[in-house]
A and B are shown apart, each in its own frame.
Chain A
Amino acid sequence: QVRLQESGPGLVKPSQTLSLTCSVSGGSISSGYYYWTWIRQNPGEGLEWIGYIYNSGSAYYNPSLKSRVTISVDTSKNQFSLMLTSVTAADTALYYCARDLAGGYGNMDVWGPGTTVTVSS
């Protein structure tokens, strides 16, 4: 059974870069046709899709965040990562990593527990 676990700093200063990692256990990140996804949820609000990466390394991003986001994969560590530059208070959120089923059509069947990131000086 595949499990996901987010990790990274819980506090980031404004204008700096947010960096998170999602560790995959119970299966290889390279196997299958999955899209490895980042999603966030602002406090008390809904879900926002940030982007995903296929195991080939091809990444796709939310147009509203595209200029600041990079998602990468490290198959040797069975991990994928999120970088979000020039953060502001609006980026304060609960960040989830998830696995999207074949095709990347928004069918996220496995989720990590989430990690809270606060942007504050």
Chain B
Amino acid sequence: QSALTQPPSASGSPGQSVTISCTGTSSDVGGRDFVSWYQQHPGKAPKLVIFDVTRRPSGVPDRFSGSKSGNTASLTVSGLQAEDEADYYCCSYAGINKFVVFGGGTRLTVL
């Protein structure tokens, strides 16, 4: 059982926006601004798309954005494209006892 809770699936049509949630506790998501999001295509290694809640690594389209409210972080993918279909994992720093924890992943389907 994952430390962070994500919906197992999400979907949207091309051009639409989709938001994926990630719920933790005050010990991880809510207590620190160290939430990251990873995109994983089948058979590939995960790719960092958001870090420090809202920051985008170089090369990641600005269609990807992150936010946080309380113990819940969110990833929004705007202007959905077919290539966005993938599994998405949230991740949070959880302090000096647990260090790094992941969500269970959300499969995003582009209809």
- The interface of chain A, by Cβ under 8 A from chain B, is 37, 46-49, 51-52, 60-63, 96, 100-101, 103-109, 111-114
Contact: B46 with A112, CB < 8 Å? no
When chains A and B are docked, how far (Å) is the Cα of A95 from the Cα of B104?
17
- The interface of chain B, by Cβ under 8 A from chain A, is 2, 32, 34-36, 38, 45-48, 51-52, 57, 89, 91-93, 97-105
When chains A and B are docked, how far (Å) is the Cα of A60 from the Cα of B93?
13
Contact: A46 with B104, CB < 8 Å? yes
Q: Quick one: which of B47, B48, B105 contacts A47, CB cutoff 8 A?
A: B105
Contact: B100 with A106, CB < 8 Å? yes
Interface centre among B34, B45, B92 (most CB of A within 10 A): B45
A sample of 14 more A-B contacts (CB under 8 A), given A48-B102, A105-B100, is: A46-B102, A47-B38, A47-B89, A49-B91, A49-B101, A100-B100, A104-B100, A105-B52, A106-B36, A107-B52, A108-B38, A108-B48, A109-B48, A113-B45
When chains A and B are docked, how far (Å) is the Cα of A60 from the Cα of B104?
22
Contact: B93 with A109, CB < 8 Å? no
